[in-house]
Amino acid sequence: MVGDAWSALILRDASRGMTQFDQFRTSLGIAPNILSRRLKSLTEAGVLEKRRYSERPPRDEYVLTEAGREFIPILAAMGEWGRRYNGGGQPMSHLVDDTTGETIHALVIDESTGRPLREMPMRLVMPAA
């Protein structure tokens, strides 16, 4: 779903409250036809929802669905990883808690035990063929 050059960035911007076509366009510097294509595919994938917020003139906005909102932490985890292993000491964007201002470090755990997945021995179980 985000295996292309732009979709992940669009979702990131959407999580920051961006909703309009032109906001995405100017924020990302993406060609309008490409943005249109990606917004459509993200909508069809069920992570964005197109909503008409004005009839005259007709205006649509794109907002994250629940599935889309639930995907944002994964983007955050990818960001955390990139900062650690590909940052190279350069200053990079990062997340901060909007209430305390503290830097956020994304970590993937097992929900029931609370243990980091990184240190858990696990097995992938395939469905019955």
In the complex, the residues that contact its own copies under the rule CB under 8 A are: 2-5, 12, 16, 46, 67, 69-74, 76-78, 81, 84-86, 90-99, 102, 104-114, 116-118, 120-128
Choices 3-11, 87-95, 98-106, 111-119 (CB under 7 A): range interacting with DNA = 3-11
Residue 22 corresponds to which amino acid?
D
Q: Which of residues 51-90 bind DNA (CB under 7 A)?
A: 57, 59-62
* Shortest distance, position 106 Cβ to its own copies, whole Å: 5
* Shortest distance, position 126 Cβ to its own copies, whole Å: 5
56 binds, among DNA, its own copies, none (CB under 5 to 8 A by kind): none
Residue 122 corresponds to which amino acid?
M
Question: b/e map of 74-89 (b: 16 or more CB within 10 Å)?
Answer: ebbeebbeebeeeeee
Cα distances from 87 to residues 3, 5, 13, 73, 78, in angstroms, run 21, 19, 21, 19, 12
Q: How crowded is residue 35: how many other Cβ atoms within 10 Å of its Cβ?
A: 17
* Binding interface with DNA (CB under 7 A): 4-7, 20-23, 30-34, 36-41, 57, 59-62
